[in-house]
Structure 1
């Protein structure tokens, strides 16, 4: 059985689609996220951009870690990530792919051990490999009293959608 390490983030709605992200690290400032206009106010990056930033950061940091392990200085690294949105089978937007370009600050020639690191760094990138593999995401919804109203891991009532724990007939869009 593999070792499980945990981390957490908390998102608190500020207004409309703006959320304040709080990290479980004492010295890390909070981050405001929002949806782009016209849905949101573009007050911060949205989830797709955070995903792109996470993948780009993880890859760049992994490459830098490997090079520094061998006492190499590649110069200032810059990662550029382009995300491609596409519509899935049901017409809903998805991040279809991410193109990552990593620029080394120095020419590759004088950086010893670069070839070794280029063979290895992707495999050590936690986020990129998790996204490529398609990680499990468990979702549960609780109401203000703490009552679980949705948990796909729990069986629902007969005829209810998987995981439904309360009647949702009052929602005219439910089940569409």
Structure 2
């Protein structure tokens, strides 16, 4: 389940605020992201929704892996992710919190490993643990020739 090192995904603006995301895995389908009106047309999820989905997906996979290892039974878990949007002191929209609810079937709850896993799985979720700790970020803006126009972090 571990994935170490680095990976790069590629994003390309299409029309308006539509961004096509191409993943580094050949078998993974591209993802179309968009902003809600009035900016975009809501043809795909925006970044806040993808972040909430990523946290819920990671927690789900972490729990399933802990309980069942490589072969979890089908349809044994559902998840809900709620993203709480707030305005900061400068009135900028921010993610003020995430609430993830995992709904497990009896086969999960009754597993011999569930008692131990329910106290461990969150710590092994790469995404939610990273969000909680704060993720250092570097941002660079370059032109098509590669000249650096802006750098932060």
TM over 0.5: yes
Q: What is the aligned partner in structure 1 of residue 146 from structure 2?
A: 146
Report which structure shows greater RCO (CA 8 Å, sep ≥6).
2
In structure 2, how many angstroms separate the alpha carbons of the residues matched to 1:14 and 1:70?
A: 38
- Cα RMSD (Å): 1.9
User: How far is the alpha carbon of 1:75 from its aligned partner?
Assistant: 5.2
User: How far is the alpha carbon of 1:108 from its aligned partner?
Assistant: 6.0
Alignment of 1:72-111 (within 5 A): 76-106=76-106, 110-111=110-111
1:106/1:74 CA distance change after superposition, 3 Å: farther
1:62-98: CA deviations, max 9, x gaps? 0000011398759521010011000011110001001
| 8 Å CA contact retained: 1:72, 1:112 | no
Q: Which has the higher strand share?
A: 2
User: Which stretches in structure 2 are left out of the alignment for 5+ residues?
Assistant: none
User: How far is the alpha carbon of 1:39 from its aligned partner?
Assistant: 1.2
Q: What is the aligned partner in structure 1 of residue 65 from structure 2?
A: 65
Q: TM-score, normalised to structure 1's length?
A: 0.80
1:83/1:146 CA distance change after superposition, 3 Å: same
Q: What is the aligned partner in structure 2 of residue 52 from structure 1?
A: 52
**Rg larger for:** 1
Match of 1:38, SS state, is coil
1:113-162: CA deviations, max 9, x gaps? 21100010000000000000001111000012221000125xxxxxxxxx
Q: What is the aligned partner in structure 1 of residue 120 from structure 2?
A: 120
